[in-house]
Amino acid sequence: MAYPIRVPSRGDRPPRSLKWRLIPILALAAFALFKYMTAETAVNPETGEVVKVALSPEQEEALGLQSYQQVLSQSEVITEGPEYELVRRVASRLAPATGEGGRGFEWHVSLVRNDQANAFCLPGGKIVVNTGILPIAQTEEGLAAVMGHEMAHATLRHGAQRLLRSDLTNTVMQGVALSVADMSYEQQKTVMGLLGAGAQFGVLLPFSRDHETEADEIGILYMARAGYDPRASVGLWERMAEAGGGQQPPEFMSTHPSHGTRIERLEAFMPRALEEYRKAVGGGPGR
């Protein structure tokens, strides 16, 4: 006599015990820890702090060059004129000021016609400046503040640090996903949504804002060492705030500090930058 075999639906399955739910979480957390402990290290050239990164300098530079070539192939590159000469002049002064951080970089700078107020520096020293940032920068010193900030992101290897942090976070998230795999779709969606928001607002965004603050500070050191008055950076961020018309998300939801926070931290760091500036220009009254 044959007996029917009933396959229980997901709703019929008994819920996993806490012990069984913890196993994949702990396993993937241990794997994330292993990846962190065996990751490449880099030394912050300004503070001596040892940081963990996802890529070797050679890997970073190769990716930076690839991205740079792709951007230029899709952009209208300006190769002459006063704006072009300005950008090249600022880059030529800032590059030596990066010191140990920029050692081994092959610095290149390109001005592209783009109305977006933006500039960036890719790993290995490939700088792209949009024409749209020039009206906000206004002066050579203002542009030096913009470019110094972006160059600091590259010399401090912020991209490789963020890549590692994101990879570790995703690894732990996978462990949680496995632990709730027996739940209904709606339950899984709720749990993973809450966890994702927690990781975003509690881990990834604060990490990014810390990098922005560090790039602001190291960027004005580069300015100062190149002979640009670092106090011009405060005016730049005031103009950036005006250009944005106050349209900023709450700071905890943003990858960047608010303009007000940036200005406060720059002013707090300014005495150190001014020391470097006085050394670069030879001191003197009013400096």
C-alpha span between 228 and 114 (Å, rounded): 26
C-alpha span between 39 and 31 (Å, rounded): 12
Would you tell me how many other CB atoms lie within 10 Å of the CB of residue 125? Answer: 23
DSSP code for 10: G
Tell me the backbone φ, ψ of residue 51, rounded to 5 degrees.
Answer: -125, 160
**Does residue 136 come out as left (phi exceeding 0), alpha (psi in the -120 to 50 range) or beta?**
alpha
Q: Which residues contact 43 (CB under 8 A, 6 or more apart)?
A: 49, 50, 51
Say which of 60, 61, 141, 150 is annotated catalytic.
150
The encoded tokens of residue 142 equal 């203002």
C-alpha span between 57 and 212 (Å, rounded): 21
Known active-site residue 150: yes
Tell me the backbone φ, ψ of residue 120, rounded to 5 degrees.
Answer: -155, 160
C-alpha span between 36 and 39 (Å, rounded): 5
**Between the CA of residue 193 and those of 16, 22, 70, 93, 189, what are the distances in Å?**
20, 19, 34, 47, 6
C-alpha span between 43 and 52 (Å, rounded): 9
Residues labelled as active-site residues: 150
